[in-house]
Amino acid sequence: MISNYIVICRGKKTALLLRLTRLSSLTRCHIDDMHCRNTLPIIVGGTNYYIESLLWKVLVDTGQGNEESGRGGDGAARRKLELEKLGGAELHKRLAEVDPDMAAMLHPNDKRKIASLQIHEETGVPHSLWLEEQRGQEGGDGLGGPLRYPDPCIFWLRADMEALDRRLDARVDEMLSAGLIEELRDFHVRYNQQNAQDNGQAYQQGIFQSIGFKEFHDYLTAPESSTQQDKDALREKGIEAVKIATKRYARKQNKWVRNRFLKRPGDNVPAVYSLDVTDVSTWEETVLNPALQILEHLSKGETPPIPPIRVQGAEQRNSRSHHTCDVCDKVIIGDLEWTAHLKSKRHYSFVRKRKRDLDGDQAHGARSPPAAPAQTLSKDTGAAVAPGCS
């Protein structure tokens, strides 16, 4: 794992999320069984989506879990592929017809429109209503429903980024030594070669989203007539691309923890304790002993000597409001993103350019219309226009 979690449960969003509902339900059954036996469940690793779905009620369970292993699952997969062939504008139009609130919260390029459409097709209920019901439960917040278990504890294993980057590079080298390229080549010949020849391969779908396929595409599809020197160059290019993508993914995971765990609004947030794994030779003193000390105090109902971490601004909720900047010809989703855009160099550059154009028109006797005041938002699904955009 790039980012490791040890999630301890104490006491009693998308097509991917729909599948996670089944998987996390199975895990929760094991957790409940361990609680009945007075045993402490410890969950190590897992994707960010998976950990979040275990801790909070954030998934949409359509009640069709038994169908996924049969024709129902195949039908949902085929329907997803059909929707993926449609353009963003058409998907947004269809979603706006059945769930205008959700459509207003999603960027035109956001692929979650597909999951929202599927949820409506399977249940007849708009995705936005499912989310509203979750958030309205006692203990719910703007990101989803309440915690599933009281007093969970999260150990976040963190390392200095330079040390982490070195480990990630070494991990890629180990995967190469273990036969990564041979495995990719075999999979490519079996499942991807024809699609690549037909220029029909999309590396944003299914298993092909995994790091490695896209990065080695040029190497795997190199013509037979290519020289060994050209092939070696493409191979090295692919290796470097995998290392860059892996490190980028690690940073994305860390950002997820900060935004979805540390900055989560309200009191519906588990304690997150940071443990330094930069130097693994000091594992016992920097990781194991502090973790056991924290658990010992928590089990006695005492405050651990090591405080949990929280970040500044955790109380601020980023509503997914819909904004349009006519100056930059850009759609922005989210109040924090909107504020950042208004302060960006790109936006100011376009504003100055428009002002120069207006001044030039006035110098030639052209009259410019008065600027309309910026709109303000009263609801998350409202629209706003940047100052100077009208």
pLDDT (mean) for 111-135: 75
Tell me, yes or no, if the pTM score tops 0.95. Answer: no
So what's the pLDDT on residue 120?
Answer: 81
**81, 206 contact by CB (below 8 A):** no
Identify the band that residue 142 occupies on the pLDDT scale cut at 50, 70 and 90: low
Mean pLDDT across the chain, nearest whole number? 75
Handedness of CA 309, 312, 315, 316 (dihedral sign): negative
296-350 pLDDT tens trace: 998 888 999 999 987 655 445 556 577 788 888 777 766 767 777 888 878 878 8
So what's the pLDDT on residue 168?
Answer: 96
So what's the pLDDT on residue 333?
Answer: 66
For the chain, helix (H) and strand (E) counts, in that order, are 16, 7
Higher pLDDT, 111 or 277: 277
**For residue 90, is it left (φ>0), alpha (ψ between -120 and 50) or beta?**
alpha
Helix (H, G, I), strand (E, B) or coil at 151: coil
Which DSSP category does 192 fall into? Answer: I
Which DSSP category does 367 fall into? Answer: P
Identify the band that residue 231 occupies on the pLDDT scale cut at 50, 70 and 90: very high
Could you give the percent of the chain with pLDDT greater than 90?
Answer: 24
236-286 pLDDT tens trace: 999 999 999 999 999 998 888 888 788 876 667 788 999 999 999 999 999
* 42-44 and 271-276 beta bridge pairing: unpaired
Higher pLDDT, 151 or 364: 151
Identify the band that residue 372 occupies on the pLDDT scale cut at 50, 70 and 90: very low
So what's the pLDDT on residue 344?
Answer: 82
25-77 pLDDT tens trace: 777 788 888 888 888 888 887 777 788 888 887 666 555 543 333 344 556 66
